[in-house]
Amino acid sequence: MVNTLGNGKNIDTEKTVLVTGATGYVAGRLVPLLLDSGYRVRTMGRSLDKMASRAWGGHPRVEPVRGDIMDVASLEKAVRGCGTIYYLVHSMISQKGQYRQADRIGARNMARAAAVERADQIIYLGGLGDIAHRNISRHLVSRNEVGEILRQGPVPVTVLRAAMILGSGSASFEILRYLVERLPVMITPKWVTMETQPIAITNVLGYLKGCLEHPETRGKTFDIGGPDIVTYRELFQRHAAMAGLPRPRLIPVPVLTPRLSALWINLVTPVPATIARPLTEGLSMPTLCTEDSITRIIPQHLINCTEGIQRALAPCGANPDIRRYPESPHCGDADYSGGTILQWGLQAQARGACPPLETAMETMDRKCLYNSVLWKVRGLFLNRKKRSNFWRRLKIEAPSTLLFQDEMPVPGRALLTIGFHATDNHRCRLTILYRFFPRGLIGIAYWYLLYPFHHRMFAHMFKGIVKETDLELLSPPERFTPEKTIS
């Protein structure tokens, strides 16, 4: 099948496209973009279950395969019959420089497999930075080496070099997010004044897909970046402004080495030190585009830093009116993605049929969500006297779930999910999940300060729902902590 681009060029969508590292941050967002454009996509990863759990896992034009860059045979099987290969695999094991050796072996194996199976093109996303700079990090050296090794094979290679990628789930962006959220005052190393040229994940995806559709990019290296050149200090300030937080006070000192910075980041944020250290080592040098030829080959609207951060922070999922961007949190992102989410859940098995959601909604509106002494006390404490302002229903997810948003003036965003899940033998599993997205340290302090009070309120609500929906508990409610939920 041949599709025609807006510029009149024809593209062949019959050839399967291989996306390696399919459950990774960039690849996981690239796959649905390719599917929407009519391509058949073979996704490669070490876990078929993880690929199957993605939203695109069951798509009829997706073919998941198990593969490992350290195993040449599995790579040759994965590449077989594919035209273009997206090489989006990168090791982040920082101890003793092991990731460099792993990356070299993986690149050689892929170059060999692509040559044996006669692929048309390899597209590789590397790191931006002057390889000759005195402060070049081992991480960026390794990214550059991978591109060089891939180019040594006979298959044409397109290399895209990027600095920080703006978007929820990007490790460098998440470090930025957590530091701003949790540290109103920061003692920072000198790199806080270093210039960089971040790029939004939407634009990264646009260039990756564009290289597939523009043969003139084959065999070339391109720097890709957004329209803004900023310092890390400016990024901290813009993020704070977009998140509604006070601008952090930054105190640069000359004694914080990249290693100490990585350890500090690991202490303050949930981003693992094995990821933080290679990234922070690359902050001691400018990461700016030295050429912009790709902007003429693949023109697109370049998202500035402010808009990129705004997209990454915009709540989505719970509100159908808010568009989900590639910069938004996605199912399958790393556990540390999406910022701080504090959760409290309660569940129990009950005898009886699950009530129709509309009926349950009316009952809870009348007696469980608003007409409670505990909720009224909380409303007075937070200066909200009108009971209709306690909760706002966002949506009903048939057949089992009701979703509400807390309308109290709390320092963050709170969602309440109530679920009725039918099981065997005329039984129902009832769940209540309260999720809180705190705004800065004040929001985190609010959560822990009111935690005992909320515990009693939701336990009381749970009993009220059971009573008003004519269910009979088979065992006492028990606490549960679900996996991090996208909203």
User: Residue 322, SS3?
Assistant: coil
Q: Are residues 452 and 389 in the same domain?
A: yes
The domain spanning residue 430 has which CATH number? 3.30.530
Which ranges of 2-47 would DSSP assign to H, the alpha helix?
25-36
If DSSP states are collapsed to H, E and C, what string results for 233-292? HHHHHHHHHHHCCCCCEEEECCCCCHHHHHHHHHHHCCCCHHHHHHHHHHHHCCECCCCC
3-state helix, strand, coil in the chain (%, to 5): 40, 25, 35
Residue 486 domain-assigned? no
Residue 446 domain-assigned? yes
Residue 319 domain-assigned? no
**What DSSP line would sit under 342-411, residue for residue?**
EEEEEEEEEESPPPPHHHHHHHIIIIISSS-HHHHHHHHHTT---GGGSEEEEEEETTTEEEEEE-S--S
Residue 114 domain-assigned? yes
Which ranges of 12-131 would DSSP assign to H, the alpha helix?
25-36, 48-52, 72-79, 98-116
Q: Are 53 and 90 in contact (CB under 8 A)?
A: no
- In eight-state DSSP terms, residue 199 is E
Q: Are 51 and 43 in contact (CB under 8 A)?
A: yes
CA distance linking residue 303 with residue 326, whole number of Å: 12
Count how many domains the chain has: 2
Q: Are residues 350 and 290 in the same domain?
A: no
Q: Are residues 305 and 355 in the same domain?
A: no
Q: Are residues 296 and 346 in the same domain?
A: no
Residue 320 domain-assigned? no
What's this model's pTM, rounded to 2 decimal places?
A: 0.85
- According to DSSP, the residues that pair with 66 across neighbouring strands are 45
Residue 292 domain-assigned? yes
Tens of pLDDT along the chain (487 residues)? 445 554 444 455 678 999 999 999 999 999 999 999 999 999 999 999 999 999 999 999 999 999 999 999 999 999 999 999 999 998 665 445 577 888 999 999 999 999 999 999 999 999 998 888 888 888 889 899 999 999 999 999 999 999 999 999 999 999 999 989 888 888 887 778 889 999 999 999 999 999 999 999 999 999 999 999 999 999 999 999 999 898 988 888 876 666 677 777 778 888 887 788 778 877 788 999 999 999 999 999 999 999 999 999 987 554 544 457 999 988 888 888 888 889 989 998 888 888 777 666 666 665 555 455 555 565 555 555 444 456 777 777 766 787 888 777 788 888 888 888 888 778 888 898 989 999 888 999 989 988 888 888 788 878 888 877 788 888 888 888 776 655 5
Answer with the one of 272, 295, 313 that is the final residue of a domain.
313
Q: Are residues 52 and 161 in the same domain?
A: yes
The b/e string for 29-63 (b: 16+ C-beta within 10 A; e otherwise) is bbbbbbbebebbbbbbbbeeeebeebebbeeeebb
CA distance linking residue 31 with residue 40, whole number of Å: 10
The domain spanning residue 37 has which CATH number? 3.40.50.720
How many angstroms from the chain centroid is the CA of residue 168? 4
Rg of the chain over all Cα atoms, to the nearest angstrom: 25
Q: Are 418 and 432 in contact (CB under 8 A)?
A: yes
Q: Are residues 291 and 362 in the same domain?
A: no
CA distances from 25 to 88, 277, 281, 469 (A): 9, 18, 21, 42
CB burial class (10 A; 0-12, 13-18, 19+) of residue 442? Answer: middle
Tokens of 131: 């390889």
Domain that holds residue 384: 342-480
Q: Are residues 379 and 476 in the same domain?
A: yes
Tokens of 52: 């199957």
